[in-house]
Structure 1
Amino acid sequence: MKRQKRDRLQRAHSHGYQAGLHGKNKEECPYQNLDAKSQWLGGWREAMSDRSMGLFK
């Protein structure tokens, strides 16, 4: 059970990172669950940081 939960949160982080790379707004987070939403936003912030450093266009 714990592995499945961890995978779900990892997937939320990955989706947030992809959204950030594509320049989507953080308000477009599709998650309602607090844990998943925080993971998505963490991925989004990481991608925005990477974009601002010039790692992606």
Structure 2
Amino acid sequence: MKRQKRDMYTRAFDRGYKAGVSGRSSEFCPHVSDQSRQAWLSGWREGRSDQWDGLTGISGVHKMRTF
């Protein structure tokens, strides 16, 4: 099994970050459990602040963990 699939909170954070950078609302959080929801919202907040700082597109590539 891949490491990415085992760590649910890191995965939730990454997906929240992607949602925040793309400008989606925090109302669209897909998680119900408290810890997963908190990780998603933390990622969303960081993504939104990066979007406000202009780290979108090619200028924000260094922030992505998938590369």
Separation in 2 of the partners of 1:40 and 1:30? 9
Q: What are the residue-to-residue correspondences of 1:23-38 with 2, within 5 Å?
A: 23-38=23-38
Give the aligned residue type for 2:47: A
Gaps of 5+ in 2: 58-67
Q: How many residues align?
A: 53
CA deviations 1:24-57 (Å, max 9, x no partner) are 1000000000000000000000000001111116
Q: Which residue is equivalent to 2:40? A: 40
Gaps of 5+ in 1: none
Q: TM-score, normalised by structure 1?
A: 0.85
Q: Which one has more relative contact order, counting CA pairs under 8 Å at least 6 apart?
A: 1
Q: TM-score, normalised by structure 2?
A: 0.73
Percent identity at matched positions?
42
Separation in 2 of the partners of 1:16 and 1:50? 12
Q: CA RMSD in A?
A: 1.4
Structure 1 residue 54 corresponds to structure 2 residue 54: yes
